[in-house]
Copies of this chain bind each other. A is one copy, B any other.
């Protein structure tokens, strides 16, 4: 068939294969989701449109759609919550879809999550007023578009690892997220590592692996 699902991934990696829905037809997503579900696996699909969701809904009504995050999920078990908290810190209102992709993924992977949104560095007091909360996290996902300065400033304030997510928010010399990506890769704060532009999912996956070290 068209898909060789990696059923063994949970054994190797601690988490089953995740469906990247973009570029797949609703039919393809439905079939993959169903096959995984029937094997007893939790199902997580990212970049899912309403069409993807509805196709899966036809065969499994336990499926849930998180529209801002563009995520579909089928659970076969209860989600447990970690004691350690992942902070999801985002710079602007326009970064929200990426932030939600990160936050929902982290929650579905069993993490306690705290959202701190719209605290971009152009009004630094917004960030500094949150300093105690920032210092309480075990790992931080830090999301920003445009000049991508947020992880550098946060990185100077806390002692936990930071996963930075550049977003494609902006225009012109932003070049679809390149400005934020390069800024984050060149952060003069140490302890910052970076994932692909708009990749909230990947940041959450890394953050979850890190967070669980402390459980």
Contact = CB atoms under 8 A, between A and B. Distances in A.
A9 interface: yes
B185 A182 contact: no
B172 A197 contact: yes
How many copies of this protein are present in the complex? 8
A3 to B, nearest CB: 5
A64 interface: no
A96 B203 contact: no
A126 interface: yes
Nearest to A164: B193
A124 B146 contact: no
Contacts of A39: none
A99 B18 CA distance: 22
Interface of A: 2-4, 6, 8-9, 12-15, 17-18, 20, 22-24, 28, 32, 84, 91-94, 96, 117-126, 128, 138-139, 146-149, 152-153, 155-161, 163, 166, 168-199, 201-203, 205-206, 209-210, 213-214
